[in-house]
Amino acid sequence: MASATALAITIYLASGLVAGIIAGSVARRKRRNAGIWTVLAFLLPPVVFILPFLPRGDYRPPRPEPEWEDNLDRL
């Protein structure tokens, strides 16, 4: 009984890993946030089947914040 449980856990984790890799690559092509989709597909592998049917996103990486200029040092 214990070996069947261990086998089921191993299969679930392996499928989660494969699903995460696939979701990350598909999300990049669909212009979606690849990090969120990778984690979501690792936790719930069937979500990989939803991603290809979504429309192309307009996700843009966040702009780098401008460096703070501390004017107090110049006084």
Query: Which domain range does residue 19 map to?
Result: 2-56
- Rounded to a whole number of angstroms, the CA Rg of the chain reads 20
Does 70 fall in a domain?
no
Looking at residue 65, its pLDDT comes to: 66
Q: Do the beta carbons of residue 41 and residue 19 sit within 8 Å? A: yes
Global confidence as pTM: 0.63
Looking at residue 56, its pLDDT comes to: 79
**Can you list the residues of the chain whose pLDDT is less than 70?**
1, 59-61, 64-75
Looking at residue 18, its pLDDT comes to: 92
Virtual torsion, Cα 36, 39, 40, 41, nearest 10 deg: 120
| Number of structural domains in the chain | 1
Does 29 fall in a domain?
yes
Looking at residue 45, its pLDDT comes to: 81
